[in-house]
Structure 1
Amino acid sequence: MFISLVVFLIGTCLAGLIVYKTNLHEKENKLTITQLNATTYGERIKQEISDGIEITHTLQQLLIDGNGTINKFDMIANNLVNDSVESIQLAPNGVVTDIYPEEGNEAGKIALLNDKERGKISCYARDNHILITQGPFELKQGGEGIAVRNPVYLEDGTGQEYFWGFTIVILRVQDVFSGSLSAVSEFGYEYRLSKTVAPWDDTYEIVSQSDDKLTSPISYGFTIGEEKWKFELMPKGGWENKKSVILLGGILSVIVLLLTGLTCVILIYRENKIKFQTLANMDALTNIYNRYGFDTLADRMIAKNPRNHYIAALLDVDDFKLINDVYGHTYGDRALKNLADSMKKFFPSDVLLGRNGGDEFCVLIPNCTYEDAKEKLTQFTKTPKTFLCKGEEHSFYISLGYAEYPRSGSNRSQLMRCADAALYEIKLHGKNGCMAYREGLQSGVRKQLGFALKDVSEHLPGAFIIYKADKKDDELFYANREFLHMIGYKNLDEFFSHTKKSFRNLIREDEQKQMESSIWKQIDGGNENDYIYFHMRKSDGSYISVLDHGRIVETPQYGRVFYVMFIDWEDIHIHYSDLII
């Protein structure tokens, strides 16, 4: 009896200790997961507000470019508006004069700086050069809104800065945060979103909250302009796990339940561990492996069967920034998710898929060679990808580079560098293509010659080409849109095909020798800045009179390279005939 009592007491104490530890562990897990969700969705809410702020910045840039005016405001605002925007407004000198849409928002045409409710904070934004948010406040159309006011400053004729007015976006509270707040509610959380009343006031006002009261919530703070925001979360059932307390009574009665309780603790621990491991390896947006997860599993796959052949591919979305700028980051995310979904449908289940970050994705195909992969990867690349925006389907395209193990690289890291070099080569020659790695391609040139050069050349105010500076074997590398338009080509591929990638084939036959002699005479004589006049062949076989102005540069990959700007000789005479003597 005594021994039984001792066993019972020891069993009771052990059971109580196990229950206590289990309860504490689950509470810590809840705190950790809640903190992760508060951070994740707090950042998402911040981004949703930032999307509205971005509209005001776009209008600000248009005002700066237009010297204080915006032509076709309604058309521009219509392109910028999204589902969460109630209205877009312009307020020169602090007086709202333009509203889109105007219908139903006429009451918004007020003098902000003198308004009783809006004057103080608007003056503060004007005087301190900061963007401010104000609200929530009731909208005439129903619901609540938040105003984002961005002060705009221009320069007068003497270069002095002056206050032009405000660019304004009114956001609907129930729409702008609906996705994030609905998600945390579905995940079993009570929430509260608050912001400071004004930049100079630390008092918080509630923007949106769930029905029940929050007790000891997890808080995530962020700042917009000089105003502080706070996003708070707590589980709907509270932090304590009442089931563990009930389990204690069962454990005290029966030793079997004690063992069952121990088993439950182990299983719960392992389940939580797997969840966190999965969270660490998966990309939340696309539900495929993130870079860490992909690299880890790719190394394991190759190490497990080092004699097998593998194809590693890198791909990204062509002009992804344009999607974000035109349609907004929400639809950019949809494009990325749709791309990941198309990868899952297209590739077999044994293919490893990952997202490196941004709009770049990676693929590892086992038991595959260059010959096996070419047709399949080309088919996937050329198939248009789509996303829906406001009921309309929009297409986007990708570029892809790939390399074979062990032919091109002896490990995963080398393989990815080779795939990256092939991807860059595609980007340099027109995008929306698929290329296998070959000897001579260097991903290291990417920062020196690639994207920076393309960005510069695309925005130069003139026709521009780059070609290899070789007297016997010149090779065209690049031509910007304005040059292609000047001589009548649709794209870079058509230009390369028609000219056989030779600058010499652009020069009229009877001028080739004299032209090339003149160029190299300047170079060899140390003079790189003279203009040269000649007739350049257009795509239809006709000729155009041009002046070229070139410079020779040493590059790591191609050696000496010509950067050449072209000017239409007839345009000079037409526009500047009164200046030409």
Structure 2
Amino acid sequence: MKQKTLIPLIVFLLGICLVGIILYKVDSHETAQNHTTALLNATTYGERIKNEITEGIDVTDVLKQILISESGEFNQFDMIAENLMSDSIESVQLAPNGVVTDIYPSAGNEAGKIDLLHDKDRGKISCYARDNHTIITQGPFKLKQGGSGIAVRNPVFLKDENGLEYFWGFTIVVLRVPDIFSDAVSALSSFGYEYRISKTDAPWSDTYNIVSQSNDSLINPVSYTFTIGKETWMFEVAPQGGWRNNLLITKTSVILTANVILLSVLTCVWLTSKENKNRFQILAHTDSLTNIYNRYGFDELAAKMIAKNPKTHFVAALFDIDDFKFINDIYGHGYGDKALKRLADSMKTFFPSDAILGRNGGDEFCVLLPNYTFEEAEAQLQQFTSLPKTFSCRGREQQFYISLGYAEYPTFASSLSQLMRCADAALYEIKLHGKNGCMSYNQELQSVVRKQLGFALRDISEHLPGAFIIYRADKEDDELFYANHEFLSMTGYQSMDEFFRLTNKSFHNLIREDEQQQIEASIWEQIDSGNENDYIHFHLRKADGSYLSVLDHGRIVESPQYGKVFYVLFMDWEDMHIHYSDKFSG
């Protein structure tokens, strides 16, 4: 009788101890997982908030570029400011010499026309922005129209007739909060998180002011910090109701009364662990930007598929965006990401459901098509390459192009890695022949194609026996793109950055002032007449302000992305005369 009582009691007590241990382990595991997930969300949405604020700040950069291009003059301010407005922007302002003179919309903002550099609340931080050549944000502060705002002040520096830099004033935008990052915080709130966004009250301060926060308090939040200008922002996140899973703890405590409840809890823990494992396996195999396989996930799944069906024909395609760096440089990395996501979305729509889609990294993507030969895939891949591809930038669709190479297994490869190398060789053959095309691998292509391309891009421009530049031909706003080492050496510029800075990236500024009108008229006469080649003699401005007599041999081409582009070779006029007169006199 004692055994009948004692054994069940021992089993029960051992069960309670086991449940207690399991309860402790489950609670620690869940809390750690919640911290990990919350930190991932804080990082992801913190970057989104930073990008959304930066998009608002970009308005000041647009105004700044207009002032620079117009030498400090700003015409039709109201019309331009109106086009730049959005729901998250309260007002757009200009402050020449630090004094606010123009505000859009003007109604209700008359009190904002103040001297920023001498105002007791704004003077110190405004002077800091001017003296340190940096964007500053100030706020939050209450808006007369309701809600709160943050003022962004972007200092503008111009050059006088002597080439000396001087402070013009500020371009300003007042951002509404939390409107500017409402999309990010709304998405985060829908996942069951509380949040708080703070920023340092000045670049030199460690004190944080709350910019925006959810209604409930945060318990032991995780945080993610980022910088805008020279100010630090902090984004804090915590789950609603705290970190512990109180429901699971309550259920587990009920298990003490029976082995069945204990089994149920163990099953629940096993299922929870399995779910978490699957979730992180998906994250490890998926590209977070495009939601297709990353390189690790693509290689693993593709290798398994080929190994499982070794006699099946497969076609692998490798492609990237032509001149993707220019998209990032011209429009910004945020719009580069938009182009990548648009390309991935078009892949999901275009290719069959059994195709494996992946992003190798950067702007390079890959596709594996099962049960295809290269003849069967040719039309499909040609069609995908030629389909219009665009991304949206400030309300306009910007077009971009891709280059694609593909190869067939097992015709040209015995493994996935060899198959991808063949596709890579075909891709770089396309690159060598002008991009924006599609090509299949054949046995004449070798892996050295990539080395040949690398040599061409890296070495030809630097070792070509001549000085040359590339610039966009535009009557109102020409833009310098490139100068090789020979040109920089001939004209005394220490680097490309110095060349762009001293010329303001304009070919117009390389021509001696008294020749500018005549030379530019000659150039445009060439363009308008349809002549692709021309020779012009003029005086080229050097880095030290002196001039060099040169012969300019220009060729104009039509670029699908930049319009008319000039490739210009320069020869020293005096050296050329001395060299050839000596040569022919003998």
Question: TM-score range with shorter-chain normalisation?
Answer: 0.7 to 0.9
Deviations 1:75-112 (A, max 9, x none): 65566555533333332211223444555545433221
Q: 2:191: which partner in 1?
A: 187
Deviations 1:131-166 (A, max 9, x none): 211111223443322122122333444444332222
Q: 1:516: which partner in 2?
A: none
Q: How does 1:135-150 map to 2 (within 5 A)?
A: 135-150=139-154
Q: How does 1:422-461 map to 2 (within 5 A)?
A: 422-426=426-430, 431-438=435-442, 439=445, 442-450=449-457, 458-459=470-471
Pair 1:379–1:134, CA change in 2 (3 A): same
Q: 1:285: which partner in 2?
A: 289
1:236 alignment partner AA: Q
Q: How does 1:277-426 map to 2 (within 5 A)?
A: 277-318=281-322, 333-386=337-390, 396-426=400-430
1:129 alignment partner AA: H
Q: 1:21: which partner in 2?
A: 25
Q: 2:98: which partner in 1?
A: 94
Shift in Å at residue 263 of structure 1? 1.4
Deviations 1:264-310 (A, max 9, x none): 11111111011011112112232211233223323333344444432
Pair 1:264–1:421, CA change in 2 (3 A): same
1:459 alignment partner AA: Y
Shift in Å at residue 355 of structure 1? 2.1
1:257 alignment partner AA: I
Pair 1:161–1:82, CA change in 2 (3 A): same
Identity in percent: 61
CA contact (8 A) 1:417 1:443 kept: no
CA contact (8 A) 1:428 1:450 kept: no
**Ranges in structure 1 where 5+ consecutive residues have no aligned partner:** 465-481, 490-494, 496-505, 508-529, 540-548, 550-562, 568-581
Secondary structure of 1:239's counterpart equals coil
Shift in Å at residue 178 of structure 1? 0.9
**Ranges in structure 2 where 5+ consecutive residues have no aligned partner:** 463-467, 474-479, 483-523, 535-549, 559-565, 572-586
Report which stretch shifted further, 413-422 or 290-299. 413-422
CA contact (8 A) 1:39 1:220 kept: yes
Shift in Å at residue 260 of structure 1? 1.6
Q: How does 1:467-506 map to 2 (within 5 A)?
A: 488=530
Among residues 239, 258, 262, which one is paired with 2:262 in the alignment? Answer: 258
Deviations 1:185-222 (A, max 9, x none): 01110100011111222221111111101111111112
CA contact (8 A) 1:463 1:566 kept: no
Among residues 105, 116, 123, which one is paired with 1:119 in the alignment? Answer: 123
Among residues 195, 210, 217, which one is paired with 2:214 in the alignment? Answer: 210
Pair 1:483–1:159, CA change in 2 (3 A): closer
Q: 2:52: which partner in 1?
A: 48
Among residues 84, 109, 113, which one is paired with 1:109 in the alignment? Answer: 113
Secondary structure of 1:459's counterpart equals strand
RMSD: 4.1
2:407 alignment partner AA: A
Q: TM-score, normalised by structure 2?
A: 0.73
Shift in Å at residue 33 of structure 1? 0.6
1:196 lines up with 2:203 in the alignment: no
Pair 1:34–1:454, CA change in 2 (3 A): farther
Task: Quote the Cα distance in structure 2 between the aligned partners of 1:147 and 1:463.
Answer: 34
Q: 2:486: which partner in 1?
A: none
1:236 lines up with 2:236 in the alignment: no
Shift in Å at residue 427 of structure 1? 5.1
Deviations 1:227-266 (A, max 9, x none): 2211111111211111232223321111011112111111
Shift in Å at residue 120 of structure 1? 1.7
1:444 alignment partner AA: K
Shift in Å at residue 6 of structure 1? 1.1
CA contact (8 A) 1:355 1:361 kept: yes
CA contact (8 A) 2:93 2:103 kept: yes
CA contact (8 A) 2:317 2:404 kept: yes
Secondary structure of 2:320's counterpart equals strand
CA contact (8 A) 2:551 2:570 kept: no
Pair 1:21–1:386, CA change in 2 (3 A): same
Secondary structure of 1:194's counterpart equals strand
Residue correspondences, number: 492
Task: Quote the Cα distance in structure 2 between the aligned partners of 1:449 and 1:130.
Answer: 39
1:171 lines up with 2:178 in the alignment: no
Pair 1:427–1:173, CA change in 2 (3 A): farther
Pair 1:253–1:38, CA change in 2 (3 A): same
CA contact (8 A) 1:188 1:236 kept: yes
CA contact (8 A) 1:354 1:362 kept: yes
Task: Quote the Cα distance in structure 2 between the aligned partners of 1:279 and 1:483.
Answer: 58
Task: Quote the Cα distance in structure 2 between the aligned partners of 1:199 and 1:533.
Answer: 50
Deviations 1:318-364 (A, max 9, x none): 56567667877666544433332221122112111012334432211
2:96 alignment partner AA: P
Q: 1:245: which partner in 2?
A: 249
Pair 1:281–1:152, CA change in 2 (3 A): same
Deviations 1:509-531 (A, max 9, x none): xxxxxxxxxxxxxxxxxxxxx98
Task: Quote the Cα distance in structure 1 between the aligned partners of 2:370 and 2:459.
Answer: 35
Task: Quote the Cα distance in structure 2 between the aligned partners of 1:82 and 1:356.
Answer: 36
Secondary structure of 2:117's counterpart equals helix
Secondary structure of 2:207's counterpart equals strand
Q: TM-score, normalised by structure 1?
A: 0.73
Task: Quote the Cα distance in structure 2 between the aligned partners of 1:207 and 1:452.
Answer: 51
Secondary structure of 2:282's counterpart equals helix
CA contact (8 A) 1:463 1:486 kept: no
Task: Quote the Cα distance in structure 1 between the aligned partners of 2:147 and 2:425.
Answer: 53
CA contact (8 A) 2:294 2:360 kept: yes
Pair 1:443–1:109, CA change in 2 (3 A): farther
CA contact (8 A) 1:131 1:150 kept: yes
1:230 alignment partner AA: M
Pair 1:108–1:434, CA change in 2 (3 A): farther
Q: 1:574: which partner in 2?
A: none
Secondary structure of 2:283's counterpart equals helix
Shift in Å at residue 375 of structure 1? 0.3
